[in-house]
Amino acid sequence: MDVNRGKINSPENFFFKCSSCGDSYKISLKDFILKELPKLLQTDSDKLKEFYKKGNLKFYQKHYQKQVINALQFRKAMGKIESGTMICFRENIHVIMGFPKIRRTLVLSEAIEKHFKDEIAVEEKMNGYNVRIASLDGEIIAFTRGGYVCPFTTRKAPEILDLDDFFGDNPDLVICGEMLGTENPYVSHYYPEIGKLGFRIFDIREKLTNKPLTVEERRYMMDKYDLPSVRLFGVYSVDEAPQKILELVRKLGKDGREGVVMKDPKMQIPPLKYTSSQAHDDELIYAFSFPFDLGKAFLFSRVIREGFQAHEMGESAEEIDERAQRLGKSILYPMLETIKHVSENGVAGEDLIMEVDDPEEADEFVRHLRDLGVMAMVLKFEDGKAVIRRIHQSTTDKISNYLQGGLY
Ligand code: ATP
Ligand code: MG
């Protein structure tokens, strides 16, 4: 039996065609999970059953532009199967593996030596949101990190990138990249070369195996298909890399940029990330604009990163003082502004701007955000742009309460 020829019409109805005899037969979702999925993912059927029972593996259905995408979604990682992995049922079954987590180093000199072999490719880490783009039998679909079909990205990616030739020749590859710019509705960050909306590719992987192309193969492909890549700063020996990266990251920070990702050129060792002081502060500024929603989760790790970076950079008393002031200001000022804002307007929220063709697209995006558990509403639609207000409820409620004398 050839699982690649499975079809699904509803959660209860899969139709499979036997690769040898050509007969089709029906199989339920439950049987698919118990009998076919273990073979496909080379994993244990009991584990999958347990995962499904607990809701960590879920049936997922998305209506998108008069089409229906049926899939199974991994809400959590299961061994080597990353969280965000999608088993998509179209003409064929497509397994789009989740994008692996990238671990962070706090001290470059020691970690690089321990982690890598002779050489490392140093690329720019860009600050936007992670997207996997795949062709599902000719239909180009963009998935968020968690494995949700993003209606905005699915519409925009083919407008920004010329993907037809790439996927025409390579239907079994997945493009992993970062959606960037001030008018992307998840992470708004200004890059002079990007402006409102842009995309940079940092990985190409195989469906099902999640095997990445080497850095060289990927860059060759990007050239061949004229697709935009993240910057490669250079390939350095393990000995020279820490010093080079420290200088680079200092400079990137001053330019308001996030940092670097270090990669084994052969992509056999997992990459590592390292970020600038200014990036840490930017995240704190964002988190402390909504302190009761984000503050706790962000604070400790960013302060720790600053401590180790200041140590490794061997800064002068003056430089450390500058860092300390910037850190403190990034925490206190945004919070103060939000307290003032809530005292005057009663709500802590942020406005996202996105380009849409009609109000329905904005509504569709708001529905998508609600699926992700984010409270949002369309504030206005004008000249092809929608303003979407995202409400931060805990910050709104708590600040209002304390302002009225509530006890902490
Ligand atoms: P993670 O689970 O990977 O730690 P995170 O949400 O904490 O995710 P980040 O701290 O932004 O994410 O770091 C990892 C992310 O950086 C990747 O998932 C990817 O979206 C993004 N990224 C930007 N530039 C690159 C690059 N050159 N190579 C790899 N990833 C990159
Ligand atoms: Mg990021």
**Digit-coded pLDDT (tens) for 186-221:** 999 999 999 999 999 999 999 999 999 999 999 999
What pLDDT, on a 0 to 100 scale, did the predictor assign at position 342? 98
Residue with CA nearest ligand 1 atom 25:
125
Residue 99 Cβ contacting ligand 1 at under 6 Å: yes
- Cβ atoms within 10 Å, residue 42: 10
The residue nearest atom 27 of ligand 1, judged by CA position, is: 125
Report the nearest atom of ligand 1 relative to the CA of 100: 3
Q: Name the closest ligand to CA 261.
A: 1
Torsional sign, CA 357, 363, 365, 368: negative
Q: CA 230, CA 262: separation in Å to the nearest integer?
A: 12
Identify the residue whose C-alpha is closest to ligand 1 atom 8. Answer: 101
Q: How confident is residue 265, by pLDDT bands cut at 50, 70 and 90?
A: very high
Please give the average per-residue pLDDT across 269-296, as a whole number.
Answer: 98
Residue-level pLDDT at 4: 45
Which pLDDT score is estimated for 20? Answer: 56
Tell me the percentage of the chain whose pLDDT exceeds 70.
Answer: 94
CA 306 – CA 323 distance, rounded (Å)? 8
- 296 C-alpha to ligand 1 centroid (Å): 21
By mean pLDDT, which of 68-72, 235-239, 330-334, 339-343 is the weakest?
68-72
Q: How confident is the model at residue 18, as a pLDDT?
A: 54
Mean pLDDT of 364-368: 94
Residue type, position 1, single letter:
M
State the distance from the centre of ligand 2 to the C-alpha of 285, rounded, in angstroms. 15
Query: Which sequence spans correspond to the domains of the chain?
Result: 13-96, 279-345, 349-391
379 lines ligand 1 (CB under 6 A): no
Handedness of CA 19, 80, 28, 86 (dihedral sign): negative
Average pLDDT over residues 277-290: 98
State how far the Cα of 74 lies from the Cα of 95, in Å rounded to an integer: 11
Element (H, E) at 325: helix 317-345
CATH label, 13-96, candidates 2.10.10.100, 3.40.1370.10, 1.10.287.110, 3.10.450.740: 3.10.450.740
CA distances from 404 to 24, 391, 394, 401 (A): 67, 20, 15, 5
Res 65: pLDDT: 81
The minimum-distance atom of ligand 1 relative to the CA of 129 is: 20
Q: How much is the average pLDDT of 129-146? A: 97
Q: Which atom of ligand 1 is nearest to the CA of 127?
A: 23
Ligand 2 centroid vs 178 CA: distance in angstroms? Answer: 8
Check whether 406 has a pLDDT greater than 60: yes
